[in-house]
């Protein structure tokens, strides 16, 4: 059996580590509120709901599993949901996925993350991803302007 530095077995050490509690984040704003506040958000959320309906009709086991993993990743845990949404925003911008950027920016807004924190996260994405992120940054800033004013 493999051992770790303090002499305990790896299996024993894993059993002692507490699993962080997972729970749904507390949103300050509903999707409906966000849709009424921002035309860009409304169009995105409407399209997402319609397209998810198409995916749901397929009743695909693997897609359902993946959606479940995605949902559970952003629950409150060892990291707060706010931190995870900002991480998702950075990764989405680096990967240049406008749908993902919109999703995480909207979720971050719903959680009450201030605009300067979203902008700072987008700065990290631009440094990591380079100048090719700039067109996506522009669209993100347009959404933030509608949400925060």
* Cα–Cα distance measured from residue 60 to residue 57, given in angstroms and rounded to the nearest whole number: 8
Axis-axis angle for helices 98-110, 134-148 (nearest 10) = 30
Q: What is the pLDDT of residue 12?
A: 60
pLDDT at 57: 97
| pTM as predicted | 0.87
The pLDDT score that the predictor gives to residue 13 is 57
**In the prediction, which pLDDT does 20 show?**
79
Bridge partners, 76 (sequence order): 23
Question: What pLDDT, on the 0 to 100 scale, is given for residue 6?
Answer: 61
How high is the pLDDT of residue 4? 57
Intervals of the chain under pLDDT 50:
none
pLDDT in tens, 6-19: 656 556 656 778 87
pLDDT value of residue 91 = 98
pLDDT at 8: 60
CB 54, CB 126: distance < 8 Å: no
Contact 137, 93 (CB under 8 A): yes
> What are the contacts of 11-17 at 24+ separation with CB within 8 A?
none
What pLDDT was estimated at residue 18?
A: 80
Residue 147: per-residue pLDDT: 98
């Amino acid at each position: 059996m493999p051992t770790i530095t303090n002499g305990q077995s790896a299996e024993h050490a894993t059993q002692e580590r507490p699993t962080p509690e997972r729970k749904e984040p507390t949103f300050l704003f509903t999707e409906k509120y966000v849709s009424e506040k921002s035309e860009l958000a409304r169009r995105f959320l409407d399209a997402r709901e319609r397209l998810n309906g198409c995916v749901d009709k397929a009743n695909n086991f693997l897609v359902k599993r993946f959606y479940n993993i995605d949902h559970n990743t952003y629950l409150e845990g060892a990291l707060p949901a706010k931190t995870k949404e900002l991480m998702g925003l950075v990764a989405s911008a680096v990967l240049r996925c406008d749908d993902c950027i919109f999703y995480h920016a909207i979720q971050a807004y719903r959680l009450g993350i201030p605009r300067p924190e979203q902008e700072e996260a987008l700065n990290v994405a631009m440094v990591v991803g380079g100048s090719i992120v700039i067109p996506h940054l522009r669209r993100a800033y347009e959404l933030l302007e509608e949400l925060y004013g």
